[in-house]
Structure 1
Amino acid sequence: MQIVSPAALPAVDKVLAFAGVQALAVSHGRKPTLQAVRTVLGRLRACALEGSLPADALQEAALTGAVAAVLKAADRPALRAVFNLTGTVLHTNLGRALLPEEAIARVAEVMRRPCNLEFDLAFARRGDRDSLVEPLLQELTGAEAAAVVNNNAAAVLLALDTLARGREVIVSRGELIEIGGSFRIPDIMRRAGCKLLEVGTTNRTHRHDYADAIGAKTALLLKVHTSNYVIQGFTASVDEPTLATLAHEAGLPFMVDLGSGTLVDLSRYGLPYEPTPQQALAAGADLVSFSGDKLLGGPQAGILVGRKELIARIKKNPLKRALRVDKLTYAALEAVLRLYRDPDRLPARLPTLRLLTLAPEEIEQRVQAVAPTLANTLAAHASVTPIRLASQIGSGSLPVERLESRGLRIEPLGGARGRGRRLAALEAAFRHLPTPVIGRIADDALLFDLRCLEREAVPAFLDQLTHLSLP
């Protein structure tokens, strides 16, 4: 193999004059193509300086192909669809809830045309964007009023800033949660300008703990649903009706932060029980906050429902504008909320609920459809074995509950030496496919839980295995 020096590199203009590169300039634009040529020549120059540049790398076909590869990589979106085979349905890092087709259609419609985001069509005046979903939230939860912001943490921040700035908020020590990214309830309280008053202990809090803490500086009582962990054993907590009565006797509002939140009793679909905003309001809560993109199955949003007077105060807070959501979120959220008006058909229409209620037998059918092709593709590199798995709901919802599932165990061939390296290479190869495949490494193997592999997506999954590049 002939090795060439940096002096052998062609000029930028010469490469741009290649017929293939000119065709790339037509399809990608001259400026991006020029940058790609410079990138390719820069890489080749580095190789030449190291004394490792083969002469055939400077052939017209090779250079054109290298420029095309750079342009293709540059055109690839940063936010990409993936196959979620982790076994976590509501995966925070993978976008959480999938939207139903009704929501996707509504989002596309308001993207294409002007809409009445803040225009009251009945009276031809400026409108309140929350009014687009408030009637539905009132109907579904029984609340007097509702407001929407960009996530549940923002909803809690806004409520505390409005109702408790400069004053005390009483919370049980057992409910001082930390969610993903080291985001903690005490931190939110500090940012809201209120003082956290902890009561009880980590595992046991009683009514008298709250009652003894109420004073002249108390602004409200807050109960936080510990959706992302469970304390078991010698425990005690105060239920919502008791806290509501205590707060109201002291002339204070009572707020419940549900975190995840669902508008139906999940147990009717064979899933574990999760508290709902309706139940919290019926128990006496004056304000309830919950997420839009978790168990609700909608877009990222933080939803506040409760007493009309409190919601009105929250809407007047300047932070409300800073935390508001756009027309796309309202369009998607409205479409999802409308599905909840027909709970009997909800599992068939809401992707989150459909995936959570998927029977193991259905998942097994997908395993049987995928396993043979995958085994043939990996025959020289890894073994593929169907196995039973346990999926989890994810995003802090029902943390100890598991859903019976099915999947594949992929083990790299070879001895123990270098096994970790081969396993990492296997995982990376799937992750670098045109549509990345994200599984999880556990028990010295790559595990693919097929709960979230939709039936209609199986052919596309199999087709792209031809692009799998393994060492």
Structure 2
Amino acid sequence: MSDDIRQLIPSMTRLLARPEVRSLLAWFGPDIVRMKLQGAIERLRQHLANGVLMGSKSDSEQLVIRWLVSEMDRCLLNTPRKVINATGVLLHTGLGRAPLADAARKAILDAAGACLLEVNSESGERAYRGFQVHDFFEALTGCEDCLIVNNNAGATVLLLQALCQGREVLISRSQLVEIGGSFRLPEIFQTAGVVLREVGTTNRTHLRDYAAAITERTAAILRVHASNFRIVGFTAEPSSGELAALAHARGLMMFDDIGSGQLFANPVLASFGEPDFRTSITGGADLVLGSGDKLLGGPQAGIILGRSSLIQTLRHHPLARCLRIDKLNLAALHATLLIHARGTATDELPLYQMLQADISALNQRAESIVAQVGSLRDVTLQIVPSIAEVGGGSCAGHPVPSVAIALHSSSTSAQTVARNLRMHVPAIWGRIEAAAVLLDLRSVDRCDDQLLCQTIKAAIGR
């Protein structure tokens, strides 16, 4: 690089003294701003080395500052910030799955400082984390004991390693699932040091298949609910209760991973045919696993319910500490269980409210939103029928009728419109169908309708 070109590269000291950079330093602190600024200077150096012409050193400074501001804006945009979920996927994994009830949000704030986490108020002595939710789970599901970890995949690894390491666990071929992020059940078995023994076929597995596969090396039978896909047609599989009876008759344990975490049969969820903790425990399963942030309507958590002796073994395993739930999610879980206990889930849980919304109410909301937004430059709004889904690895194959607002642009692509909505603060996430951006109202909290209107107008413009 020639000396003339080097003279066009501004110094770090000069850039740090500029007002724009000083304001960024006050907000973000020196370390990350210096790192991003160094990256912008290096980017300028590469531009100059590749023959890009700059008029003056002042032009170079302005370009570096523009790149820096863009990078720092990206840091803000990538925070776990509020998003209006208009995708039509009610439990969108990328957008945080179940939206929490107001009571759960307040509980998080209350527990954000010092809180009652691992001590007993009455005795003042140390207690195990999660003792606060034991009575709720016992009363609502009939379990003897519970253990709460940070997610259901972690619960599965803990259970397998603590109770079955070095031995075989039987599972139907139809249940060898892959969950989000390409995590596959066989890999979880391998990580836990457990031998996976497949039984039956992809579409049909009978009780006799399990019985024939039992050997002296068998530790347990595992049933995994296929919550993120469906096999239909010529199918068969034993119930959890039938598997539990076989396992106990042969001196084995039986575990039931129900996945989506429904506590007990609920009329709002009846049409989906999802398993629940109470039914599985009543049927004889030794341990039942499920997620907290799906049909339970709570925070991320891996819930393990069942026999006290097995739970005690899990609780004292080294992995239990590695996987334990944090205080904020525990507080939110406690508040959510209290809602279920007093029978007000249909009124207080956002997921249940979304599922109960009828088409006429969704149409009325859509008409109001379109009227409030009014006319936009080069964009038309149209109310259209839509199909939503529960999502989050729950209720696969069960479409939910819905209503959406379709945004059609005459001057730009649907991808650009969708990006503009996503990049705004607050952001709107929709989906693209037939060259239009669809904003599905079933997944939008009706309390956010006014904010939705304002954001559409601000992000797309008049």
Unaligned runs of 5+ in 1: 415-420
Alignment partners' CA distance in 1, 2:183 and 2:25:
46
Determine which of 419, 435, 439 is the counterpart of 2:430.
Answer: 439
Quote how far apart the aligned CAs of 1:314 are.
Answer: 1.3
The TM-score normalised by the length of structure 1 is: 0.87
**SS of residue paired to 2:341:** coil
**SS of residue paired to 1:236:** coil
1:100·1:336 contact (CA, 8 Å) conserved in 2?
yes
Q: Which residue of 1 aligns with 2:450?
A: 459
Which amino acid in structure 1 is aligned with residue 266 of structure 2?
L
Quote how far apart the aligned CAs of 1:65 are.
Answer: 8.4
Write out aligned runs for 1:240-259 (5 A): 240-259=240-259
Q: Which residue of 2 aligns with 1:418?
A: none
1:44·1:53 contact (CA, 8 Å) conserved in 2?
no
Alignment partners' CA distance in 2, 1:442 and 1:34:
42
Number of equivalences: 456
1:223·1:255 contact (CA, 8 Å) conserved in 2?
yes
Alignment partners' CA distance in 2, 1:212 and 1:425:
57
1:160·1:194 contact (CA, 8 Å) conserved in 2?
yes
Write out aligned runs for 1:255-404 (5 A): 255-268=255-268, 271-343=271-343, 345-372=344-371, 374=373, 376-377=375-376, 379-380=377-378, 382-404=379-401
Write out aligned runs for 1:126-137 (5 A): 126-137=126-137
Alignment partners' CA distance in 2, 1:185 and 1:34:
43
1:244·1:285 contact (CA, 8 Å) conserved in 2?
yes
**SS of residue paired to 2:272:** coil
Q: Which residue of 2 aligns with 1:229?
A: 229
The TM-score normalised by the length of structure 2 is: 0.88
1:240·1:285 contact (CA, 8 Å) conserved in 2?
yes
1:430 aligned onto 2:427: no
Quote how far apart the aligned CAs of 1:309 are.
Answer: 1.1
Write out aligned runs for 1:156-235 (5 A): 156-235=156-235
1:109 aligned onto 2:100: no
CA RMSD of aligned residues (A): 3.0
1:374·1:462 contact (CA, 8 Å) conserved in 2?
yes
Alignment partners' CA distance in 2, 1:23 and 1:308:
57
Q: Which residue of 2 aligns with 1:91?
A: 92
Determine which of 450, 454, 467 is the counterpart of 2:441.
Answer: 450
Alignment partners' CA distance in 1, 2:167 and 2:88:
43
Alignment partners' CA distance in 2, 1:175 and 1:169:
13
Which amino acid in structure 1 is aligned with residue 347 of structure 2?
A
Quote how far apart the aligned CAs of 1:264 are.
Answer: 3.4
**SS of residue paired to 1:109:** helix
Alignment partners' CA distance in 1, 2:371 and 2:282:
53
Quote how far apart the aligned CAs of 1:460 are.
Answer: 2.0
String of CA shifts for 1:177-213, please: whole Å, max 9, x gaps.
Answer: 1211222222211111111111111111111111111
Bigger mean CA offset, 29-38 vs 433-442: 29-38
Quote how far apart the aligned CAs of 1:95 are.
Answer: 0.7
Unaligned runs of 5+ in 2: none
1:299·1:332 contact (CA, 8 Å) conserved in 2?
yes
Which amino acid in structure 1 is aligned with residue 454 of structure 2?
D
1:244·1:284 contact (CA, 8 Å) conserved in 2?
yes
Quote how far apart the aligned CAs of 1:436 are.
Answer: 2.1
Quote how far apart the aligned CAs of 1:445 are.
Answer: 2.4
String of CA shifts for 1:257-283, please: whole Å, max 9, x gaps.
Answer: 101121132335665332211000111
Cα distance change of structure 1 residues 442 and 18 upon mapping to structure 2, 3 Å threshold: closer
1:389·1:405 contact (CA, 8 Å) conserved in 2?
yes
Alignment partners' CA distance in 1, 2:168 and 2:21:
67
